[in-house]
Amino acid sequence: MTEGERGLKAFAVRVVGGPQHAGANGHQAPSRPLGPDDDTLCDVLSREEYVQEVTESILAGAPTLTGTQIVAVRDSLVKIAHRHGWLED
């Protein structure tokens, strides 16, 4: 622990015994300690908010995709987001 602007805070934290997630190559992603300057946060979105944002991003980035292709890419991204806990249940 160290003293922060708003009191004590933890640093060099690692998740122990948490769910295991394999990376795209099938290998376990190594856990990394979070240091005192790591302000990593992640918004947890509703499925509907995530789907809307992903769809808009796909349309902007790859406007020539067909509707079927967009749905396939979007569904794949939703599965990844759910697996990582980025979506509300």
Q: How many helices (H) and strands (E) does the chain have?
A: 2, 2
Q: Is the pTM of this model over 0.85?
A: no
- From first to last of its 89 residues, the chain has per-residue pLDDT tens of 677 777 777 666 666 665 554 444 444 454 555 555 555 666 788 999 999 999 999 999 999 999 999 999 999 999 999 888 888 87
Report which DSSP code applies to 28: B
Start-to-end Cα distance in the chain: 32
DSSP string, 29-70: PPP--B-TT-------B-HHHHHHHHHHHHHHH-TTS-HHHH
- Counting every residue, how long is the chain? 89
